[in-house]
């Protein structure tokens, strides 16, 4: 299964993905016409700013099992069997707000779109584009490689390989006297830094 | 293996779906006392408000079930024989099982003055909603200021019914919210046009000509077409109790959702699991918890031995003018520190209860975007990696909490 992988450390906050997302989900599909449509198409990817003004792309992770799907009262949220994506049927949605409560990543919004009422709104991993053999709009437009579209297992393999090779290089031992890192990514960053110094 | 499910609502249905997902060939029988296709009970208030039609409440297409699934509607389970591993239905039919899930849910509490002849109804099953629908014209009295009462009041308002709400406590939602947060809801309800009488209760109900005359303890008399009672729920444990399964307030289960009887599981409103925020066994009678427990019960029925980590009480109340998301326990207690901040110009309010740096309760008013994160921290009992003052002040965004470095 292919997924959109987010590399927050690479994001520069240009918001192009948000524009591309809106256009991809608009009726016209054109960047010129989309802003003038009667119902404005809203982006489904959110770029948060941290207190240090770092950009953080945040979108639906299509969890399995999905907390939003479990909390959805009218079963408007469902898993599409062929692609494994978690999708929303806006016609069934009763706008009760349970999915926003359940989502650990805060990616659900409520907008008027497609059907004539307010309904839950989130990333569908461009399922329509994927059927045409194209990659999701946000990935296509991302210039800095913060959004990638790849096979889930391959992504995980690559990440573990990277870490294990760094550990194997023995750089870790030099770092032993330092306290533990808050996260794997922080550890990775420090290792990268050391490696650059060594080179 | 023969798996049998009693009750086909949130918990039962979720168990059925998960069983079929992970083991498509498993033989399952599900027994429901109700005559209808599985529907979502939480939408009964939307149905009363004519926001949804009856068929829109159906949440399972039973015609699409594979042949190894046997669904029995309109049949009640009378007894469970734990030794012979079999059930007796109201029709006299016997069904044997290898693994059993009890998902019998809960019943609405019926107070002394409950009398359908006096057009006083509870709201739990489709049949209840139909009865209310039959008698309602343009006014209603809603008793009880819990989530069901408030949802019913807003639903009825939607179809231009005059609603009067009678709440025995000083403010609505007193069992889940602290006073300050509840007052926001109360004000909004009053602004929407709902008449709320707090610290009052029903003394007597009589029929006067074509309307119901409700005499209150304070001496006031109110006239309406119907009375809808929302005074909480009571778990349905009679069948389990008769069979000898251990019961406290609800059916007692271990972390694998297995009851005191081997091979018998329980899930949903009828069962008592660990409350992560309270740290005691508790019944959190809400839809998402029932679904989650049904899912975990299915995993354990299939032998995947997956412990259920426990639940918290949580709810989302959304109307035209506000969206409140609350969870865990918000009451002042020893060791619990409350943080809150109100932004009147944004109509926003954030409140967080923290015990030993672990959040245990929250209420976010009109900021649904970051509410889910804190609900999940409470649910998993995870410590905060940030200053709670900054969180309620809105100085830290969800990006600060989620960014891995
Ligand atoms: C009006 C209303 C609004 C609500 N709104 C919300 C909301 O907004 N959010 C939320 O989270 N929750 C809400 N709830 C609560 C939610 O509906 C329940 O938590 C949920 O339905 C629990 O599911 P369950 O499967 O455990 O039990 P139930 O839904 O009670 O289902 C149990 C089923 O088992 C059947 N049964 C019982 N005994 C037997 C027997 N012996 N033999 C055969 N069948 C039997 C019953 O007929 C019933 O169909 C609301 C409830 C009501 C009534």
User: How much is the pLDDT for A165?
Assistant: 66
Nearest to A58 among B325, B327, B398 (CB): B398
The pLDDT tens digits of the residues spanning B271-320 come to 999 999 999 999 999 999 999 999 999 999 999 999 999 999 999 999 98
CA distance B401 to B405: 10
- Region of poorest pLDDT, from A129-133, A151-155, B90-94, B219-223: A151-155
CA distance B105 to B112: 22
The pLDDT tens digits of the residues spanning A74-113 come to 999 999 988 889 999 999 999 999 999 999 999 999 999 9
Structural domains in chain A, CATH included, are: 2-150 (3.30.70.20), 153-198 (no CATH)
Q: Is A128 part of the contact surface with chain B (CB cutoff 8 Å)?
A: no
The pLDDT tens digits of the residues spanning B29-80 come to 999 999 989 999 999 999 999 999 999 999 999 999 999 999 999 999 999 9
Q: How far is CA A2 from CA A67, A153, B81, in A?
A: 21, 9, 49
What is the ipTM for the molecules in this complex? 0.94
Ligand 1 site-directed mutation target among B8, B42, B292, most atoms within 8 Å of CB:
B42
Mean of the per-residue pLDDT values for chain B? Answer: 94
Between CA B368 and CA B371, with CA B369 as vertex, the angle to 5 degrees is: 60
Nearest partner of B178 among B331, B27, B326, B312, judged by Cα: B331
Q: Is A79 part of the contact surface with chain B (CB cutoff 8 Å)?
A: no
| pLDDT: which is higher, B252 or A177 | B252
Which atom belonging to ligand 1 lies closest to the Cα atom of B75? 43
Write down the CATH superfamily of domain B2-107+233-301: FAD/NAD(P)-binding domain (3.50.50.60)
In chain B, the N- to C-terminal Cα span, in Å, equals 48
Q: Diameter of chain A by CA atoms?
A: 61
User: How much is the pLDDT for A79?
Assistant: 95
Q: Give, using CA atoms, the residue closest to atom 6 of ligand 1.
A: B42
Q: Diameter of chain B by CA atoms?
A: 70
Q: Is B16 part of the contact surface with chain A (CB cutoff 8 Å)?
A: no
Mutation for testing the B interface, residue in A84, A99, A100 having most B CBs under 10 Å: A100
Q: What is the pTM of this model?
A: 0.93
- Fold for domain B110-229? FAD/NAD(P)-binding domain (3.50.50)
Q: Which residue of A has its CA nearest to B61?
A: A75
> Which residues touch B297 (CB under 8 Å, ≥6 apart)?
B11, B15, B101, B103, B257, B265, B266, B267
Ligand 1 centre distance from Cα of residue B40 (Å): 8
Nearest to A97 among B60, B288, B318 (CB): B318
CA distance B145 to B150: 6
- Cβ–ligand 1 contact at B299 (below 6 Å): no
Q: Which residue of B has its CA nearest to A79?
A: B21
Q: Are the C-beta atoms of A76 and A119 separated by less than 8 Å?
A: yes
CATH architecture label of B322-402: 2-Layer Sandwich (3.30)
User: How much is the pLDDT for A157?
Assistant: 87
Taking CB atoms within 8 Å and a gap of at least 24, the contacts of A142-147 are A142/A16, A142/A17, A143/A14, A143/A16, A144/A10, A144/A11, A144/A12, A144/A14, A145/A7, A145/A10, A146/A6, A146/A7, A146/A8, A146/A10, A146/A11, A146/A12, A146/A57, A147/A4, A147/A5, A147/A6, A147/A7, A147/A17, A147/A57
The pLDDT tens digits of the residues spanning A149-182 come to 999 888 888 878 777 766 665 555 455 555 545 5
- Indicate if B322-402 has the same CATH topology as B110-229: no
Nearest to B397 among A50, A67, A186 (CB): A50
Min Cα separation A76/chain B (Å): 9
- Cβ–ligand 1 contact at B42 (below 6 Å): yes
Q: Are the C-beta atoms of A104 and A78 separated by less than 8 Å?
A: no
Mean pLDDT of the A39-52 span: 92
User: How much is the pLDDT for B115?
Assistant: 93
User: How much is the pLDDT for B400?
Assistant: 87
Q: Are the C-beta atoms of B124 and B207 separated by less than 8 Å?
A: no
Mean pLDDT of the A46-62 span: 91
* pLDDT beyond 60 at B24: yes
Q: Give, using CA atoms, the residue closest to atom 39 of ligand 1.
A: B104
| pLDDT: which is higher, A87 or B402 | A87
- Give domain limits for chain B: 2-107+233-301, 110-229, 322-402
């Amino acid at each position: 299964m292919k997924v959109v992988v987010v590399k927050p450390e690479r994001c520069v906050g240009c918001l192009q993905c948000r524009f591309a997302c809106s256009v991809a989900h608009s009726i016209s599909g054109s960047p010129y016409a989309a802003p003038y449509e009667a119902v404005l198409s809203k982006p489904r990817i959110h770029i948060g700013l941290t207190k240090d003004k770092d950009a953080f792309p945040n979108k639906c992770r299509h969890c399995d099992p999905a907390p939003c799907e479990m909390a959805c009262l009218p079963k408007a949220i469902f898993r599409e069997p062929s692609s494994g994506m978690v999708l929303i049927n806006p016609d069934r949605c009763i706008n009760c707000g349970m999915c926003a409560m359940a989502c650990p990543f805060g990616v659900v919004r409520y907008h008027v779109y497609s059907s004539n009422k307010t309904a839950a709104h989130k990333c569908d991993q461009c399922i329509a584009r994927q059927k045409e053999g194209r990659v999701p709009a946000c990935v296509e437009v991302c210039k800095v490689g913060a959004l990638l579209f790849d096979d889930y297992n391959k992504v995980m393999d690559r990440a573990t390989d990277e870490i294990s090779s760094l550990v194997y290089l023995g750089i870790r031992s030099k770092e032993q006297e330092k306290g533990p890192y808050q996260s794997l990514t922080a550890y990775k960053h420090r290792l990268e830094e050391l490696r650059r110094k060594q080179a | 293996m023969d798996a049998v499910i009693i009750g086909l609502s949130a918990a039962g249905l979720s168990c059925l779906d998960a069983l079929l997902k992970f083991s498509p060939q498993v033989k399952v029988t599900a027994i429901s006392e109700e005559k209808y296709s599985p529907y979502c009970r939480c939408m009964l208030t939307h149905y009363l408000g004519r926001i949804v039609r009856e068929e829109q409440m159906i949440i399972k297409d039973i015609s699409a079930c594979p042949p190894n699934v046997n669904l029995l509607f309109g049949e009640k389970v009378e007894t469970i024989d734990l030794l012979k591993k079999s059930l007796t239905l109201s029709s006299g039919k016997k069904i044997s099982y290898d693994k059993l899930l009890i998902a019998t849910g809960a019943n609405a509490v019926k107070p002394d003055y409950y009398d359908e002849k006096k057009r006083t109804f509870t709201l739990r099953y489709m049949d209840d909603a139909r009865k209310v629908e039959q008698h309602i014209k343009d006014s209603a009295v809603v008793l009880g200021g819990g989530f069901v009462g408030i949802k019913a009041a807003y639903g009825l308002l939607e179809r231009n019914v005059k609603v009067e709400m009678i709440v025995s406590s000083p403010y609505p939602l007193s069992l889940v919210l602290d006073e300050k947060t509840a007052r926001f809801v109360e004000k909004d309800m009053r602004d929407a046009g709902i008449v709320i009488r707090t610290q009052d209760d029903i003394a007597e109900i009589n029929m006067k000509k074509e309307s119901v005359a409700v005499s209150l303890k304070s001496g006031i008399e109110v006239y309406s077409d119907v009375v809808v009672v929302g005074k909480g729920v009571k778990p349905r444990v009679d069948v389990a109790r008769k069979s000898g399964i251990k019961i406290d307030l609800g059916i007692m289960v271990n972390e694998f959702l297995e009851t005191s009887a081997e091979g018998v599981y329980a899930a949903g409103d009828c069962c008592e699991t660990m409350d992560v925020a309270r740290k005691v066994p508790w019944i959190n009678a809400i839809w998402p918890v029932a679904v989650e427990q049904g899912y975990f019960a299915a995993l354990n029925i299939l032998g995947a031995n997956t412990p259920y980590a426990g639940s918290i009480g949580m709810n989302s109340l959304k109307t035209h003018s506000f969206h409140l998301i609350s969870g865990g326990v918000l009451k002042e207690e020893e060791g619990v520190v409350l943080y809150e901040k109100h932004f009147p110009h944004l109509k926003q309010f954030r409140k967080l209860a923290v015990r030993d740096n672990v959040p245990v309760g929250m209420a976010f008013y009109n900021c649904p975007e970051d509410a889910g994160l804190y609900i999940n921290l409470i649910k998993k009992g995870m410590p905060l990696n940030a200053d709670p003052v900054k969180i309620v002040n809105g100085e830290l965004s969800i990006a600060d909490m989620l960014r891995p470095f």
